[in-house]
Amino acid sequence: MALYRCHFLDADDRIKAHEEIDARSLLDAIGQANAMLNERSHHDAVEVWTGNRWLYRAGREKEFAYNANNKTGVGWRLMLNSGRA
């Protein structure tokens, strides 16, 4: 198991909460982070970190809120950080 840190951000990308999670892999950590974000409608994005490395970000995009194909009413923007600038 590896330790990951999840930062929950507001619409202005300010950290409003954080959680540390144990996960078997980065994909497991991403799944846990997305599940927590889905339960926290007052947060706009989540980032996954290990140590001082940013690994992943998912955020709600307001412009997709009324997409007819999206039953949840929330559009997701996903980014994986490859470590390259």
Alpha helices in 1-85 (DSSP H): 26-39
| Per-residue pLDDT tens over the stretch 33-77 | 999 999 999 999 999 999 999 999 998 764 333 333 444 434 444
Confidence band, pLDDT 50/70/90 cuts, at residue 84? very low
Contact 48/5 with Cβ under 8 angstroms?
Answer: yes
Domain range list for the chain: 2-80
Asked whether the beta carbons of 57 and 79 are under 8 A apart, the reply is yes
